[in-house]
Amino acid sequence: MPVETKTTCPYCGVGCGVIAAVGEDGAVSVRGDPDHPSNYGRLCSKGSALAETIDLDGRILHPEIAGRQSTWDEALDLVAEKFSAAIAEHGPDSVAFYVSGQLLTEDYYVANKLMKGFVGSANIDTNSRLCMSSSVAGHRRAFGADTVPGTYEDLELADLVVLAGSNLAWCHPVLYQRLAAAKARRPGLKVVVIDPRRTMTADIADLHLAIRPDTDVALFAGLFSHLVKNGAVDQNFIAAHTMGFSEAFAAAVSFPEALERTGLPAMQLREFYRLFTASEKVVTCYSQGVNQSSSGTDKVNAILNCHLATGRIGRPGMGPFSLTGQPNAMGGREVGGLANMLAAHMEIESAEDRDRVQRFWQAPRIAEKPGLKAVDLFCAVAEGRIRALWIMATNPVVSMPDADAVEAAIRACPFVVVSDILRETDTARHADVLLPSRGWGEKDGTVTNSERRVSRQRAFLGAPGEARADWWQLAEVGRRMGFARAFAYDGASGIFAEHAALSAFENGGSRDFDIGTHAGIGPVAYDALSPFQWPQPAGRGEGETRFFANGGFYHPDGRARFVAVMPAAADRTDAAYPFTLNTGRIRDQWHTMTRSGKSARLSTHIAEPFAELHPRDALEIGVVPAGLVEIESPRGSVVVRALVTDRQARGSLFAPMHWNDQFAAKARVDTLVPPLTDRISGQPASKNVAVAARPF
Ligand code: SF4
């Protein structure tokens, strides 16, 4: 009989439950977990192919120093020595960790604790900065904390689902399946898709708004104005639970201005505003098209303003909903795995919070100011200000903006540690010390998905070679740096228990994130832990499923804040770079393909790097369908296959970010993206890049 283990898919932020079965011959198969409340047995193509990606081909099986196999002791001693030396000579801010939404919460917790409490710097950032940091910043501005108010079920209960900058069908496929099934059962459920491209998601839409790139602020500021002028706001909710309504209304844009900036036909814009006004149960989902922008935080707040003004928040079938890209972007946020956050959603800028966390950890010091966010972090590496860098479970040489400059920076950094499962990634090949990590199916811990649901990832395979958990590697370095007591963990359950205890320490229930009920969890209960949504405060059983229906925001006065948002100039093109490039994902690949690229089945969907362009643009520049097109920005160039389609708006290109130098030469699309970020969140603007295109 096969041995079955309940675990969680390691790809997107939907966080689907998976049952992995290992047969007597060692063969692994996977199926959706019918009992998991986020997917009820469904899986998408990537999740279904998980068993095809767990072979040992290309794995790092032993620690390596300068390309030579070493013992764990040698490697860990060297890492601790180099980090300690850099700190002693150049100060705590001369070292940095760049981590990942692929890490489990327990890994993230130990990394954050080591850097912020024991090194004394906040130079720990994550590839989640590229994914959802604008949503975090928008939530904190409006709600006073980084809280997602709703649940997946709200998409099924709504009368109107607005998908802003989200290709749900490809990027959160199981959530799309749930929405499509709800719409099939109840055709009155309307779907509006806001996206410059006519994506596969737009095929389900009752209304597709192909706005000009980066004009979402004008679209929603115009909606806000429309709601007020048509008496569609909830005056009682505004009076009882919010601040700043008048200032936001003063900044809202008129219908003609929204029309001009978005470039939409008047009939379409009017219809969107009518639908939103007339539908009480509205959910607005937002993803990378909103977040990955130089105005990403304002876009989020423009959306939140409309939900706050109508009081459509925290009740069944209504509310704003941030869709995280990564499997554990939320878990990372919970433990403070961003350079501008402390653990348990506490504030790094707050002396009281810093003191509380330092006392809980019994730490010798605590970071006193926010650290370097991802783009700034690699700039600091390039400038020689970072003397020792530890990269875990991510491949920034492919995925960071200005990827060639990031590669040069890593190459020039005096000491680079990479923890990964594969030894030949574009980043791993620059490591001074390469540490073998455990992969999906081998490691144990928790992840949190987009609806705040914490699920276990469980090991069902033995670790190959000498691969060890990421938290173990960090703890061993912490011990060697002189902090033996603080990092004396003997398993993931003890780390989770400590994380839960910190969430309730002296502030249980006074903040949004509280899982204090799990503070005393032992290994057996941890192993049996069923998926749950936070909060779960100690002594109070189940927490709320939804937030804010009756106010209770996390600003000191308990009120939400409207934010006066201003539409920014959106067109970056000029005569030399006349096209706007939008980067993104495809259905069957994940990030830089180091794992999903192992499945031959997944590669049959789209086999090679490509760029979509409109037929008339293709004709004008002389690119033929399926021919090669060279795309160039001031930062670099790529050569990819031309996919000529009228799904793409004129004057714009779409290219996926997955391919790396292992799969195709000159296909790293992030080499084109400039290091331009949102001024508040630090999230890169990956969807509005001025480029030139020509036949190759
Ligand atoms: Fe995995 Fe996301 Fe697909 Fe679910 S929807 S199976 S979490 S990739």
Q: Where are the beta strands (DSSP E) in 554-676?
A: 560-561, 579-584, 610-613, 628-633, 636-644, 652-656
Q: Is 673 in the pocket of ligand 1 (CB under 6 A)?
A: no
Q: Is 128 helix (H, G, I), strand (E, B) or coil?
A: helix
Mean pLDDT, residues 355-367 taken together = 96
Other beta carbons less than 10 A from residue 185's beta carbon:
9
Ligand 1 centroid to 170 CA: how many Å? 10
**Residue 169 beta carbon below 6 angstroms from any ligand 1 atom:** no
Instruction: List, for residues 68-86, the tens digit of each pLDDT value.
Output: 999 999 999 999 999 999 9
Whole-angstrom distance, CA of residue 323 vs CA of residue 330? 10
Output the CA torsion sign for 43, 46, 49, 51: negative
DSSP-assigned letter for residue 59: B
The CATH classification of domain 579-695, taken from the options 1.20.1050.10, 3.40.30.10, 2.40.40.20, 3.40.47.10? 2.40.40.20
In tens, the pLDDT along 258-303 reads 999 999 999 999 999 999 999 999 999 999 999 999 999 999 999 9
Q: Is 288 exposed, middle or buried (0-12, 13-18, 19+ CB in 10 A)?
A: buried
469: Cβ–Cβ under 8 A, 6 or more apart, which residues? 106, 107, 437, 438, 443, 444, 445, 492
In order, the DSSP letters of 146-166 are ------THHHHH-SEEEEES-
590 CA: nearest ligand 1 atom: 8
ipTM of predicted assembly, 2 dp: 1.00
CA of 304 to the centre of ligand 1 (A): 27
Whether domain 64-130+328-497 has CATH 3.40.50.740: the reply is yes
Q: What is the mean pLDDT of the chain?
A: 95
The alpha carbon of 326 and the centre of ligand 1 are apart by a number of angstroms equal to 10
Q: Is the CB of 168 under 6 A from ligand 1?
A: no
Topology classification of domain 133-323: Dimethylsulfoxide Reductase; domain 2 (3.40.228)
CB of 447 shorter than 6 A to ligand 1: no
Distance 105 CA to ligand 1 centre (A): 18
Kind plus residue range of the DSSP H or E element containing 285: strand 282-286
User: Ligand 1 atom 2: the closest Cα is on which residue?
Assistant: 12
Indicate the fold that domain 3-53 takes in CATH.
Answer: Phosphorylase Kinase; domain 1 (3.30.200)
pTM: 0.96
The residue ranges of every structural domain in the chain are 3-53, 64-130+328-497, 133-323, 579-695
Pocket of ligand 1 contains residue 42 by CB under 6 Å: no
Ligand 1 center to 175 CA (angstroms): 9
Say yes or no to pLDDT of 509 above 50. Answer: no
Kindly list the distances between the CA atom of residue 132 and the CA atoms of 154, 290, 519, 641, in Å, as whole numbers in the listed order.
Answer: 20, 9, 28, 29
Sign of CA dihedral 99, 105, 107, 110: positive
What pLDDT, on a 0 to 100 scale, did the predictor assign at position 61? 97
Decide if pLDDT at 510 tops 70: no
Site to substitute for ligand 1 among 7, 14, 31, 324, most atoms within 8 A of C-beta: 14
The pLDDT score that the predictor gives to residue 495 is: 98
| Ligand 1 atom with minimal separation from the 8 CA | 7
Task: Tell me how far the alpha carbon of residue 451 lies from the centroid of ligand 1, in angstroms.
Answer: 14
Q: Is the CB of 602 under 6 A from ligand 1?
A: no
The count of other CB atoms within 10 Å of the CB of residue 618 is 22
Give CA–CA dist 177/396, Å, rounded. 31
User: Residue 37: pLDDT above 80?
Assistant: yes
Q: Which atom of ligand 1 is nearest to the CA of 48?
A: 6
Span of 438-452, 501-515, 529-543 with lowest mean pLDDT: 501-515
Structural contact between residues 361 and 486, judged by C-beta atoms closer than 8 angstroms: yes
Contacts of 299 (CB under 8 A, 6+ apart): 134, 138, 164, 165, 216, 217, 220, 286, 290, 291, 293, 565
Q: Which DSSP letter does residue 101 get?
A: T
Ligand 1 atom with the smallest distance to the CA of 38 is: 4
Is the pLDDT at 674 greater than 50? The verdict is yes
